[in-house]
Amino acid sequence: MKENRIIILITAVALVCLACAPFAIAEADPLDPIAQAAEGAAEASAKYFIVAIPIRMWFQYEMMYPWMLSYGESFINNYKEAILANPSLLDSSAKGYNPGITNAVSYSISLMLPFYILAIVLTGAYIMFISGSIEGRVKAKNLLKRLVVSMIFFSMSPLILETMLVTSQSISSAIINQADPANVRMVLEGGIWGSYVIFCKLGVTDLEISIAYWTSLYVMAWLPYMVIGMRHIMMCLFCMVFPIGIALYSFVYMRDIGRKILEQTIVWIYLQAFLSMAILVISLGASYYYLLPADQNPKLTNAIMPLGSLGESLGMPSTGYQGSPAYVSLGPTSILSYAVGSMGYALLIAVPFMMLRLLNKFLP
Amino acid sequence: MLIIFSLLTTVIAITVPTPDLSLKGILLSKTAGQTSWWLKRTIYAFVSLDYSKEDFGFIIDNLSDLILINPDAKGTEVMGGLHFFLSLIQPLYLLTITVTAFYLIFISGSPSGRAKAKSLMGSLILGMIIISLSPVLLSALANFSAITTKAIMGQADVSVVTDNLQNVFGAPENMPDYMASHTCTLCLMHWMATFTEIELGYYTFLPFMIMIWGLGVYFFLRFAMITLWMMIFPLSMLLYSFETTKAVGRNMLEQTIMWIFLQIFNAVVIIAITLCIIQSQPGIMTVPGVPAWMGELLAIGIVGTAAGAINIPFIGGLAVSPVVAARLSSPLIEFIPFVGCFAMLLAPLFIMRLFKGFLP
Amino acid sequence: MDKHKIITVLVIAAFFMPIIYADDTAGEDSLEAKSFAKVLGEEAVKGISKGWMIWMCQDLYTFLSSITGHLREYIIANPPIDDLKGVQGFFIALMQPFFVLGIVLTSAYLLLYSESPRGRAKAKAVLVRLVYALVLVSLSPLIIMLLITFSSNLSGAIMDYTNVDSTSADSAGGIIEEGSGHMHHMFDVLTIIHRTGGVELLLLWETFLLIMNFVIAMRYLLVILWSIMFPVTLLLFSFTPTKSIGKKFLHQTFLWIFVQVGWAIAVLLIESSVRGMDIAMPGYPMAKIGLACLFLFLTTPRVVFGLMDWLSLGVEVVEIVNAAPLSMGALTMDEMKVEREVIVEEPALDNL
Amino acid sequence: MKRIISRKTRKRIIISLSALLVISMIMNASAVGPLALAVWAGVKHFWEEYAKAMPKAVGKEIGAWATAAAIRLVLAEFIKMALFDKFKDNCDHLPEIILMNPKIMIADNNGNYYGNPPMEELVNSFIRLTQPFYVLAIMLVAFYLLFVSGSPLGRARAKASLIRLVLSMGLIVLTIPVIQLCLDISEIITGSILNMQDVTPGIAILKGAIDGVYDNFLGAITISYWNSVYLLMFSGVMFFFPFMLIALRYFMVIYFTTLFPVTVLLYAFYFTRNMGGHLFRETFRWIFIQPLYALILVAISVSAVSMPLIGTDASARMGFGLAGFIVLIIAPLIVVKVMDWLAMLMIILTSIEFPGMHGVVGMIDELQVEGPETVEITPPPPIRPRA
């Protein structure tokens, strides 16, 4: 929000009041109870209706409404691009070409290479010179085989990563294209605009009682991006250490760490598919709207006056405060759309975590 | 009671500083800010306490009955559900029995298989018998546990516990009636908080809500859980009689028995509390009260913030301060019954953890 | 205009203004001397604003608690199978090549490299598994439809024993509504006394009702998720290395489809236990019962499926279907042994 | 059974009562007439007074509100100076902060190293603490060897532990150099990782997130105090935690350094070997998180390149920055098993997956096993038609 504007505005107001304070009209007649009552009523109504409400509505419709249009709608507008974003290691013409990872991978390869050489040399030495029992020999040979094979994979690791990324992206796009964008938009907007409507409805009387919905706006606007960004970062992290993972996976003692690293790499890369599956589920979830017949489906508008809904049906602004800054007559939100929308956002957060938990220890 | 008290305070607050008591004079007397300030907090404290402590009397009065309460296994409520599940599993029973019999008669491969089938048959028929007897069985179980509980609780005097609970949550003895339910030490905490800042008042009546509402909810929950397990008793029997599903059935039966016999542990908790209270000499496990003069001071401080503001330092104070002082200078919260409530709430968790897998 | 200049100006203003207006900016009652008439006027207007606040919250309450009127529809709710079919077809098409690959490889192994009879038996077992899984996968929409229909019918049958459809006070909906309604009523009273006195209570019943709505919607979405992933689940389940994951997925599938049965049982339980309590101890405080019933509705599925996970039974069933042709003892045993060996990491290298 | 009257019925009652009142008033209007006139006069008077008092009231209230807002804005400015700028400074110095290591050894002017006196004292005190145990242990083993000496296996074990004890005595004396060596190694690796890439884009993204949160905080605090407090708490947790963890590492390294003699002793003695091994693992884990932090920082800055929306979309930038903070918080915790309390958070996120208490318990278990070190491989129980 534009803080300078706010500051200047408020300063102006404050200074004006400061200036005109000494010239205020005299007290009401202290001997006239009705006058006293009127004064009290005037002060209270000024405090609670004439001043506070426009300010709150200013907050809701001047500050939060543009915020909703930019931040709140952001994920709904470009969820596809956000979810399908993948780094590309080798193809410099690709969109997300990311030389950084490639450098890192080569760096970690160079980091691990001496250990390989050491191990191979040692094993060779063992076979040639020490080579006690037969079984020891067999073991050593076995180990040597392993080392060589893993070394091949090791040196090919950028290629492997690239393949995994490309396959996951293609699968995800195939899944996400099954989703109907109109439905996704409908469901997700039902969630975030539903909270916004409730926030406006409650918040105009007292912002404190609408705090939960106001917070949920931030959650819904940022958490999907947070999950996607987290996936992106963790993916890059594990891509960097992928060669190390392969190397450790081939040494017996380090095997567990290596397995963990490989698993995590695979899971974080293919999480994309599950995220897009969540989108698909959301688009299918639109059928939740028809759970109840439309006439029994309870609705809530941001009409803040008893007759608001009536006035709205007549097409006039129904705040009852005609001079309101920019009253936006939002459509009614239904409980079904609100619930399924919020849960759609929750799904975007829950599915990755579920999968992270379900998909562990799958490598031998 | 609330109305009486607030009216009283209002009258005091208005009449004392105002010379003329005509309507106009009262309306014009300049003490309204303080009076409303004070009244609001007073009423808030009263209302919130009444709310958080409603039905406290009910729980205190029939604590023993609440512990002893059990659903009637022969009653229609349980039987309706039980019959439903029975109708659900009858075909299963028939099917399995026919199949096993068929197997025994015709296919009957190895002797081992035969033996297995026979044992299965036996267990099935046994299960059927038990299920047909289930209402009797369940009510017998319930009665048994109830009788045991009664016997255990007979060892101690429940009124000791209830009195001490009264001391913690409710009124001590020799309280004027209109103050009765508002002068326990926790209540005084609530009063102070409310007079400091009205929103703090909410957090100070949380203890009441947790304890009293918790007890109320807990007793009903136990009742409901027993109803549930009684209703699906046939299912658990069926599952228990198969080898493949034995684990599940065992788990369910264990749950049934545990929830039914939970009341015994509540009785034991009651006894424990009673013994603690009886054996502990007064003052142990209690926060010692502040000295009397400080109590007076605090009392006047609480009320005085309101009363003093309306130029009558003592009249407002006198209304409440003896009570407040009495409570403040007597020992504060008795922890034993307080913790006893917690123990009663936590009993199921302990039992679930401890008595896992006692069935074969 | 430089921001810090503004700040300095503001600081000055901030320090002067309270002196001029000796007034609590939080908008609550202050200790200054006012006449009663004035206070009465104030309180009247404040009362209007508070009443307005209560009105808004009342609308919200009717909005959120509407679930108690439609419990049956909410509990029975299941995604229309026709929506799922197309997507499942897509997933099946996605899975097909893997299956073909697996079958071809196994049969190739069987034909070419099968040394030991044991390995042979293993391969056979895997092959049969694969074929069966292939059949199951191509049938998966039907299976899902079967499961969903079964669970919804079952829960419907359970709820036929209750009067959940009526919104009378002794129906489950009515009781739950009372549990939250009591708090809502209390919120009204406290708000009348003090503007923000009852906010926490508001949050309390809001949370309960929101959770009820949200959990049902969540189940709806997760049923869709697991049903469209059913072919994948079966694929994972049929390959030996990924079997454990497949098992977990299968567990989830059964769980989320059958949660509604748990809710139906909860409804039955609530009503019958409240009636029973009415007989066993008349005059049991209704507010507590309502609260407990809110709690019961949320936790009974957890109890029913958590403490006794008869969802593993569903897994067992699939097991048996898979193992049916080779359930003649030995081969299965063999296969199982094999399975163990695959996952054990070779002990030979440990003391290297 | 006691029931509350439902709100609908309450409304109905009120409406009907008021209707009755109106009707009765109309019925005997004659009696009410003069009263009504008086009331009307009062209302009129009231209205006039109301209108007269209104402008002043409005001015006063606006002034009061503006005062509050001004105070809050000043407060916000102070908060910015006190917190958000500090957050951003921290982010600027993130590489240095990551590279920060306790000085176990220091160099004097002649360039020869010796232990940092306080550290040395601490460690020595612990060494002194271990001495009697050493004596005891060696005596025990010797006693065992001489008199009890059961199976050859037991013998071999005893001998082994005897040798280990003797060796470990040597190691204990070298505590400080050893730890310093490990720290140097980790610092070198960290430095090389940080030099691997340019980390400024990552830092810029983190700072962007802080700015975004501050903007929303400012917008909220102008209007309402409590809403902004929520945002403030959130940002405090979010932006302080990574640095808290890094500081925690700093302390834990010192802690385990002082414990090192005990660790060695426990490891050397046969019966307490597992304990010692565990302590060893913990020590080295805490020492070697440092490269992980560097790696995360590099990953953030690297992944910023291939995330398309960051340049264009503000919300995406915010989310990405916050995700960076979350990763900085969670990843090290996953590696070091400080997970046990974090398990609670994970459970909240995943408990929708496993209804049922046992599910939660299982989750806790699994999360404790989450650390890459501890993946135990248990074959799943064979499924066979039960005998």
The number of C-beta contacts closer than 8 angstroms across A and B is: 7
Q: Is D216 near chain A, with CB under 8 Å?
A: yes
Residue among B60, B45, B64, B65 nearest B156 (CA): B64
pLDDT for residue A325: 37
Q: Which of residues 262-281 of C touch B (CB under 8 A)?
A: 265, 268-270, 272-273, 275-277, 279-281
User: Is residue B244 less than 8 Å (CB to CB) from chain D?
Assistant: yes
Q: What is the pLDDT of residues A171-191, one digit of tens each?
A: 999 999 989 999 999 999 989
Residues 6+ apart with CB under 8 A from D205: D300, D301, D304, D310, D317, D320, D321, D324
CB within 8 Å of A331: residues ≥ 6 apart: A301
- Find out whether A336 and A292 touch, Cβ atoms under 8 Å: yes
A282 touches chain C (CB under 8 A): yes
- Say how many Å lie between the first and final Cα of chain A, rounded: 53
Q: Rounded to the nearest 10 degrees, what angle do helices C81-108 and C117-160 cross at?
A: 170
Q: C336–D4: do the CB atoms touch at under 8 Å?
A: no
pLDDT band at A318 (very low <50, low <70, confident <90, very high): very low
Residue C17 confidence (pLDDT) above 80: no
Confidence band, pLDDT 50/70/90 cuts, at residue C225: very high
A264 occurs within a structural domain? yes
Which of A72-76, B270-274, C237-241 is the least confident region? C237-241
Amino acid D9: pLDDT: 67
Confidence check: pLDDT of A277 > 90: yes
The mean pLDDT value for A291-320 works out to 60
Cα distance between residue D213 and residue B225, in whole Å: 47
Sign of the CA dihedral with B162 first, then B168, B172, and B178 last = negative
Residue D180 has pLDDT above 50, yes or no: yes
Average predicted confidence (pLDDT) for chain A: 81
Chain A residues within 8 angstroms (CB to CB) of chain B: 30-31, 33, 36
Question: pLDDT tens digits for A235-266?
Answer: 998 898 899 888 888 876 677 778 888 888 89
Q: Give the tokens for residue A155.
A: 């040196």
Q: Most confidently modeled of B9-13, C38-42, D209-213?
A: D209-213
What's the confidence (pLDDT) of residue D149? 67
Concatenate the DSSP letters of all residues of A64-115 into one string.
IHHHIIIIITHHHHTHHHHHH---BSS-TTSTTB-HHHHHHHHHHHHHHHHH
The ipTM, to two decimals, is 0.81
Give residue C190's pLDDT.
Answer: 86
Q: Which among C38, C157, C193 has CB closest to B32?
A: C38
Give the mean model confidence (pLDDT) for residues D144-163.
Answer: 76
What is the model's pLDDT at position A35?
84
A141 inside domain: no
- Which residues in chain D have Cβ-Cβ distances shorter than 8 Å to C331? none
Which residue in B44, B75, B249 is closest to C276 by CB distance? B75
Average pLDDT, integer, range C86-95: 85
DSSP three-state, residue C33: coil
Say which range, A207-211, B253-257, C20-24, has the weakest mean pLDDT: C20-24
Separation in Å, CA of D387 to nearest CA in chain B: 8
Tell me the nearest-neighbour CA distance from B28 into chain A, angstroms. Answer: 6
Q: Which amino acid is at B360?
A: P
The secondary structure element, H or E, covering residue B118 is helix B111-132
Instruction: Give the per-residue pLDDT at A280.
Output: 94
> Any chain C CB within 8 A of the CB of D52?
no
Check residue C318 and give its pLDDT. Answer: 62
| pLDDT above 90 (res A275) | yes
Q: What pLDDT sits at residue C216? A: 92
Number of structural domains found in chain A:
1
Within 8 A of D313 by CB-CB distance, chain A residues are 74, 78
Whether residue A338 lies inside any domain: the answer is yes
H or E element in which residue D33 lies: helix D29-79
Write down the pLDDT at residue C344: 39
Query: Is residue D356 scored above 50 in pLDDT?
Result: no
DSSP string across A135-195: HHHHHHHHHHHHHHHHHHHHHTHHHHHHHHHHHHHHHHHHHHTTS-HHHHHHHHHHHHHHH
Phi, psi for residue A88 in degrees, rounded to 5: -120, 125
Q: What is residue C308's three-state secondary structure?
A: coil
Provide the mean pLDDT of chain D.
Answer: 77
How far apart are the CA of B24 and the nearest CA of chain A, in angstroms?
7
User: Tens digits of per-residue pLDDT, A336-352?
Assistant: 999 999 999 999 988 88
Residue D143's pLDDT band (cuts 50, 70, 90): confident
- In this prediction, residue C237 carries a pLDDT of 83
Which segment, A39-48, A138-147, B183-192, is predicted with the most confidence on average? Answer: A39-48
Mean pLDDT throughout C237-243? 78
What's the domain range around A291? 157-358
Q: Does a structural domain hold residue A121?
A: no
- Chain A's closest residue to C191, CA to CA, is A209
Q: What is residue B240's predicted lDDT score, i.e. its pLDDT?
A: 83
Kindly report the number of other CB atoms within 10 A of residue A249's CB atom.
Answer: 22
Per-residue pLDDT of chain B (360 residues; tens, 9 = 90+): 455 655 666 666 655 555 566 677 767 766 666 667 767 777 787 788 778 777 888 888 888 888 888 888 888 888 888 888 888 888 888 888 888 788 777 776 677 777 777 777 888 888 888 888 888 889 999 999 999 999 998 888 888 888 777 777 765 444 444 454 455 666 666 776 776 667 777 777 777 777 888 888 889 988 998 998 898 888 888 888 877 777 778 888 888 888 898 888 888 888 888 887 777 766 555 554 444 455 555 555 555 444 444 444 344 444 444 555 555 545 455 667 777 777 777 776 677 667 766 777
A257·D313 Cβ contact <8 A: no
Q: Which of A138-142, A165-169, D203-207 has the lowest mean pLDDT?
A: A138-142
pLDDT tens figures, C54-71: 888 888 998 998 888 889
Report yes or no: B243 at the D interface, CB cutoff 8 Å: yes
What is the rounded CA–CA span in Å between residue A331 and residue A64? 17
Closest by CA to D162, choosing from D178, D131, D140, is D140
Residue A26: pLDDT over 70: no
Q: What is the pLDDT of residues D31-50, one digit of tens each?
A: 556 777 788 888 888 888 88
Q: How near does any CA of chain D get to the CA of C198, in Å?
A: 15
- What pLDDT shows up at residue B190? 74
Residue B270 to chain C, least CA–CA distance (Å) = 20
Lowest mean pLDDT among B85-99, C25-39, D74-88: C25-39
Tell me: pLDDT of C25 over 80.
no
**What average pLDDT does this structure show over C257-279?**
90
Determine the residue among D228, D302, D318, D360 to mutate to test chain A binding: the one whose Cβ has the most chain A Cβ atoms within 10 Å.
Answer: D302
